[in-house]
Structure 1
Amino acid sequence: MKSIFLALFLTCSIAVSAQFQERINYEVVAEKATAQATVTEYFSLYCGHCFQFEPLVEDVKSKLKPGTKFEKSHVSYIPRGNPEAQLGMVKSYVIMEEIGGEKEEEIKLYFFNQVHIQSRKIDDVATMKTLFIEKGITKEAIDKYFSDPKITAKAEKMAKEWELKQITNVPTLVVNGKYKVIMNSVKNMEEMMALVNYLVDKK
């Protein structure tokens, strides 16, 4: 009986492995994988598809293999031709992470809502600061966050990550820092999570 279950397990494993192929379902974007199993969502608060994907993030987290870390990285190529807004929004997201907790999520969703539901023009740092203030962060605190050298350095580092991982559209998932999921190669959440978890095990 034990050998039958083992045979079935191996058959299923082989079937899953055969289902996903490099350059069709994923691309290799780094030589080495991260030490810890990690899934990174590359996204932008300016991106409509990212806004639509956001409600699915908790579902993605819940279906990851145990011990897998989930993180987000804000890209800096949107909006085109506006360097202040590009880095400013990355810095805004880094500040949200610094604030942390429920407030981080509240502010992030507020930014998404203002851009995609209210169609608010957020194309400079002054407007971004205003949004933080509208969500209860004092002017003194937000000015301090934006001028903090550590936050600036973290934002500048994050602003370069998408290029290193060859991100050309968002949202895109990168697994273990090495495997970029070709998002349009899967038909639904079940297929996407099967692919992601397959790549989690791939070093």
Structure 2
Amino acid sequence: MKKILSFIFILFALPLTACADTEFKEGTHYEVLNKPATSQPEVKEFFSFYCPHCFAFEPIADDIKKQLPANVDFKRSHVDFMPRNNREVATGLGKSLAALELMKADKEGVSALFKHLHKDRKQFSSMTNVRSVLADAGIDPVKYDSAYNSFIAAGQANQMSSDQKTYNIRSVPTLVVNGKYKVKSSGLKNEKEYAEVVLFLLEKK
């Protein structure tokens, strides 16, 4: 965890122009997964609202999204191994993310949930507590309930759990490109390289 935090600090400390052109190498900058590539190009971020590194990674993820080609989807998958002492919340937050995406309110909702944990330094006691935080942030609670209890949200949450196992996600934030390549943050020097390696892997066959 300390290494990840140090990396995040380095990303913010160095200017975008500090990085020279880099030849990205397997084993150093990315890992090739023994999985079939996705049918459509995509970048998937595995994260947790409880992870402080994921919170710090938000502006980096936003920068990567802006540089993606129009035909590439940026997807988010919430992991369920945090917090370890509250399984209801650990599993429910993935479903909550799916509900927010269905409502097209994920930008506001994600910001509110991160803020509650990392700026306000409060915890979620239950999914009812999560709902209240979202309502206070302006998310319509009736529409949220409808989306949260939908078969679509349940299916998407199950897919997040399945993807977490499929790609053997043990730490976050982690980016997987085209279902085939896992970015190794330890081999990258700054924010510019992070975006560059993602674009490089999108083109890699």
Q: Normalising TM by the smaller chain, what interval?
A: 0.7 to 0.9
1:76·1:159 contact (CA, 8 Å) conserved in 2?
yes
Question: Quick one: structure 1 residues 68 and 146, their matched pair in 2 at CA, closer, same or farther if it must change by over 3 Å?
Answer: closer
The corresponding residue for 1:3 is none
2:184 match = 182
- C-alpha deviation, 1:47, in angstroms: 1.1
Aligned to 1:48: 52
Show the counterpart of 1:192. Answer: 194
CA contact (8 A) 1:30 1:179 kept: no
Q: Distance in 2 between matches of 1:31 and 1:163?
A: 12
Give 1:170's aligned amino acid.
V
2:44 counterpart SS class: strand
Given residue 96 of structure 1, which amino acid in structure 2 is its aligned partner? L
In percent, how many aligned pairs have the same letter?
A: 34
Q: Secondary structure at the match of 1:119?
A: coil
> Paired residue for 1:163, among 162, 165, 172?
165
Output the TM-score relative to the length of structure 1: 0.83
Unmatched 5+ stretches in structure 2: 1-20
What is the CA deviation profile of residues 95-135 of structure 1, one whole-angstrom value per residue up to 9, with x for unaligned ones? 110110xx321121011101100011113111111112213
Question: How many residues were matched structurally?
Answer: 185
Which residue of the other structure, out of 93, 98, 103, is the alignment partner of 1:94?
Answer: 98
State how far apart, in whole Å, the 1-side matches of 2:78 and 2:101 are.
11
Give the structure 1 partner of residue 10 of structure 2.
Answer: none
Return the TM-score normalized by structure 2: 0.82
The equivalent of 2:31 in structure 1 is 27
Q: Which structure 2 residues correspond to residues 137-148 of structure 1 after superposition, within 5 A?
A: 137-148=139-150
Kindly indicate whether the alpha-carbon contact (under 8 Å) linking 2:175 and 2:182 is maintained by their aligned counterparts in 1: yes
- Alignment match of 1:60 (pick from 40, 64, 80): 64
Distance 1:136-1:190 versus aligned 2 partners, 3 A rule: closer
1:127 alignment partner in structure 2 = 129
- Where 1:145 maps in the other structure, the secondary structure is helix
Quickly say closer, same or farther: Cα 1:138–1:39, change in 2 above 3 A.
Answer: closer
Structure 1 residue 21: deviation in Å?
2.2
